[in-house]
């Protein structure tokens, strides 16, 4: 990988280095005063994430000062050990960690594809955090592919007074779809359109209302609607629809969303994540979901990155929205099985999945182990002919695309077959909302 790929606006950088294989303790006990440390705005750090199946590099792009911070003013150090990536913001003068968050990216998924074993690629990426008042250091971490232990990958110091910090632009209007509470104490979701032309605003807003109705049909989102806000940004595309590369169909859509991601026909995503952030920043937000103007079934969702679903599929669109949102909000794992699948790069044997709803019994005690009744056998068999009223919390074999060796806590779930969320997922979602909405 050539280090000369992106070298720009270096005056903003006081120092930078890439350090590998440094194992860290990633929390900090210092109490953080939001008003002492942060300005109230959002800061965005854009970079390019490049590499292959085993190597990764980070190349700085730009720092942007955006609108009001929509996240919590209390929950600043994400305590959940979710995701494949993590970043920390450290006050330069004191060395205190003042913000930390976890996430996953499309690059992480691409690294598991055959293409990544023979090619190097770069993906535009970006993280947001409350804007620090003083100079700070941003550190990026990734999990080791084998050990799953966090390793520091990139460090850069930022001068908050640098004239290279780009002012954010509000290019488009936003509309409230559902307002449950104030910005700081609520989960703020922004819905973005792709492939809707300038005459299709009403169609997009109808799709947003449907997204909102779908989310609130499912527990625990239904009973937490008072601490969830949903806003839509109206940003039309030049042409209608989204790209279908495998069918030779290409359109001029604003966010470059497409099917056939990593050669999977129904997997819809976009590589242009910085473009997604540009449009999302027109509303206060913590969580992004893209609605695409197509009736073809498909979608995708990546933890603290974005979720995506077809707006026009008349079948199970609402359920697909909620399933993908389970991924993008808090990284819930897929609980379904791919028949005949026995090995997975995502869930290596002997390593506990970081997802709240899957276990390999390596670190089960931090999950739902304590919720299993003493008389329930583990692993738990599904009694043939039993229905939901007979089911108990247990450890049912199969999940994470694997038939064997990995376990879920309930026979069925939104993350398995688009039914109601299982009790394990419901409890984990509430815990996550409690953190975000503090
Ligand atoms: Zn579940």
Fold classification of 10-167 (topology level): Immunoglobulin-like (2.60.40)
User: Which pLDDT value is given to residue 82?
Assistant: 97
Query: Closest Cα partner for 85 from 139, 147, 43?
Result: 139
Query: How much of the chain, in percent, has pLDDT values that exceed 70?
Result: 93
Q: Which run of H or E residues covers position 6?
A: none
Question: Burial code of 214-243, b = ≥16 C-beta within 10 A, e = fewer?
Answer: bbbebeebeebeeebbbbbbbbbbeebbbb
263 CA from centroid of ligand 1 (Å): 27
Q: What are the residues facing 151 on neighbouring strands?
A: 23, 142
**pLDDT score of 18 more than 60:** no
Looking at residues 211-228, what average pLDDT do you find? 97
Looking at residues 132-154, what average pLDDT do you find? 95
**pLDDT score of 190 more than 90:** yes
**pLDDT score of 10 more than 60:** no
Looking at residues 168-175, what average pLDDT do you find? 94
pLDDT tens-digit series, residues 103-122: 999 999 999 999 999 999 99
**pLDDT score of 303 more than 90:** yes
Q: Same CATH fold, 174-330 and 10-167?
A: no
* pLDDT classification of 317: cutoffs 50, 70, 90: confident
User: Which pLDDT value is given to residue 268?
Assistant: 96
The answer, yes or no, to whether the previous bond of 379 is cis (omega within 30 of 0) is yes
* pLDDT classification of 2: cutoffs 50, 70, 90: very low
367 CA from centroid of ligand 1 (Å): 12
Looking at residues 28-45, what average pLDDT do you find? 87
User: From CA 86, how far away is CA 108, in angstroms rounded?
Assistant: 12
> Two tokens at 426?
């419901």
335 CA from centroid of ligand 1 (Å): 7
For residue 385, count CB atoms less than 10 angstroms from its CB and return exposed for 0-12, middle for 13-18, buried for 19 or more.
Answer: exposed
415 CA from centroid of ligand 1 (Å): 5
**pLDDT score of 28 more than 70:** no
Query: Closest Cα partner for 102 from 302, 376, 260, 390?
Result: 302
Are 219 and 420 a contacting pair, CB within 8 Å? Answer: yes
425 CA from centroid of ligand 1 (Å): 4
414 CA from centroid of ligand 1 (Å): 6
85 CA from centroid of ligand 1 (Å): 23
**pLDDT score of 186 more than 50:** yes
375 CA from centroid of ligand 1 (Å): 22
CATH of 174-330 among 3.30.70.100, 3.30.450.20, 3.80.30.20, 3.40.390.10: 3.40.390.10
Q: What angle do CA 258, 262, 264 make, to 5 degrees?
A: 75
Parse the chain into domains and list their residue ranges: 10-167, 174-330
170 CA from centroid of ligand 1 (Å): 38
User: From CA 216, how far away is CA 417, in angstroms rounded?
Assistant: 18
**pLDDT score of 29 more than 90:** no
User: Which pLDDT value is given to residue 30?
Assistant: 55
User: Which pLDDT value is given to residue 361?
Assistant: 97
Contacts of 62 (CB under 8 A, 6+ apart): 8, 9, 12, 46, 164, 166
User: Which pLDDT value is given to residue 386?
Assistant: 92
User: Which pLDDT value is given to residue 174?
Assistant: 97
Query: How much of the chain, in percent, has pLDDT values that exceed 90?
Result: 87
Instruction: Name the CA dihedral angle for 336, 342, 347, 348, rounded to a multiple of 10 degrees.
Output: 170
* pLDDT classification of 131: cutoffs 50, 70, 90: very high
Q: Which run of H or E residues covers position 420?
A: none
Q: Report the chain's mean pLDDT, rounded to a whole number.
A: 92
Q: Which residue has the higher pLDDT, 323 or 19?
A: 323
Are 380 and 396 a contacting pair, CB within 8 Å? Answer: yes
* pLDDT classification of 32: cutoffs 50, 70, 90: confident
Q: Indicate if the alpha-carbon torsion angle 420, 423, 429, 433 is positive or negative.
A: positive
Query: Closest Cα partner for 18 from 61, 57, 62?
Result: 57
């Amino acid at each position: 990988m050539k280090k000369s790929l992106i070298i720009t606006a270096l005056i903003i950088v006081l120092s930078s280095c890439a350090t590998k294989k440094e194992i860290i303790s990633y929390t900090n006990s210092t109490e953080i005063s939001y008003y002492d440390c942060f300005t109230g705005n959002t800061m965005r750090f854009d970079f390019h994430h490049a590499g292959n199946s085993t190597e990764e590099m980070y190349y700085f792009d730009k720092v942007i000062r955006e609108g009001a911070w929509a996240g919590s003013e209390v929950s600043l150090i994400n305590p959940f050990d979710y995701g494949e990536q993590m970043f920390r913001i450290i006050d330069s003068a004191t060395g205190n960690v003042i913000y930390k968050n976890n996430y996953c990216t499309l690059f992480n998924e691409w690294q598991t594809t055959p293409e990544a074993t023979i090619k190097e690629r770069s993906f535009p990426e970006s993280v947001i955090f409350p804007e620090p008042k003083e100079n700070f250091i941003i550190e990026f971490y990734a999990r080791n592919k084998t050990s799953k232990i966090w390793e520091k990958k990139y460090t850069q110091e930022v001068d908050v007074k640098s004239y290279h910090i780009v002012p954010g632009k509000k290019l488009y209007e936003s509309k409230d779809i559902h307002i449950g509470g104030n910005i700081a104490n609520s989960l703020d979701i922004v819905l973005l359109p792709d492939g809707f032309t300038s005459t299709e605003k009403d169609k997009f807003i109808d799709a947003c209302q449907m997204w909102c109705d779908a989310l609130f049909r499912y527990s625990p989102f239904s009973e937490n609607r008072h601490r969830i806000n949903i806003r839509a940004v109206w940003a039309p595309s030049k042409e209608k629809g989204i790209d279908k590369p495998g069918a030779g169909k290409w359109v001029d859509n604003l966010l470059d969303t497409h099917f056939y991601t990593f050669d999977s026909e129904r997997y819809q995503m976009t590589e242009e994540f910085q473009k997604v952030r540009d449009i999302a920043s027109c509303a206060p937000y913590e969580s992004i979901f893209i609605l695409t103007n197509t009736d073809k079934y498909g979608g995708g969702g990546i933890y603290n990155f974005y979720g995506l679903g077809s707006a026009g599929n008349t079948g199970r669109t609402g359920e697909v929205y909620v399933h993908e949102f389970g991924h993008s909000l808090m990284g819930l794992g897929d609980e379904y099985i791919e028949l005949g699948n026995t090995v997975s790069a995502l869930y290596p044997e002997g390593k506990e999945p970081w997802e709240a709803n899957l276990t390999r019994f390596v670190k089960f005690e931090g999950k739902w182990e304590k919720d299993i009744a003493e008389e329930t056998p583990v692993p738990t068999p599904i009694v043939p002919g039993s229905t939901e009223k007979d089911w108990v919390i247990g450890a049912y074999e199969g999940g994470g695309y694997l038939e064997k060796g990995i376990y879920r806590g309930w026979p069925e779930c939104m993350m398995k077959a688009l039914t109601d969320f299982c009790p394990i997922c419901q409890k984990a979602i509430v815990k996550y909302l409690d953190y975000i909405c503090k």
